[in-house]
Amino acid sequence: MVQQIIASLAVYFVIWWITLFAVLPFGLRTQAEDKHVVFGTVESAPTKFRAWRVVFFTTLVSALIYGAWYVASHYFGLSVDSIPRFVPNYDK
C-alpha cells in the first residue's frame, strides 16, 4: 500500500515538473515588451514574475493529466508495454 502511494506521488511529481516548463511561458511579459529594462538584467527577463499563478496553473493542468493517466492505467489497463513498437528481426 505504501509503495503504491509513493509510486503515485513520484509519477505526479514527474508530471508536475514537466508541466511546469510547459506552463511557464504563458502570460509572460518581458522587459523588452514593456520598454522598461532594469539595469543589470537581460531584456528577456520577465517584468512581473507571478509565481503563485504559475504554480496554480501547473498544479491544475498536472492534476488533469495525472487523472487521465490514472484512468487509462487502472480502468483500461494501459501501460508502457501497451505501446506498439518496432522490433527488428536480426536472425536474417
pLDDT in tens, 32-87: 888 877 888 888 888 888 899 999 999 999 999 999 999 998 898 888 788 787 77
pLDDT number for residue 43: 84
Q: Is residue 91 part of a domain?
A: no
32: containing domain: 2-82
19, exposed or middle or buried, with CB in 10 Å at 0-12, 13-18, 19+? Answer: buried
In the chain, how many domains are there?
Answer: 1
> 52 in a domain, yes or no?
yes
**Is 69 inside a domain boundary?**
yes
Alpha helices in 25-86, H assignment, sequence order: 31-34, 51-74
pTM over 0.85: no
Cβ-Cβ contacts under 8 Å for 73 (sequence gap 6 or more): 79
> What pLDDT is recorded for position 92?
63
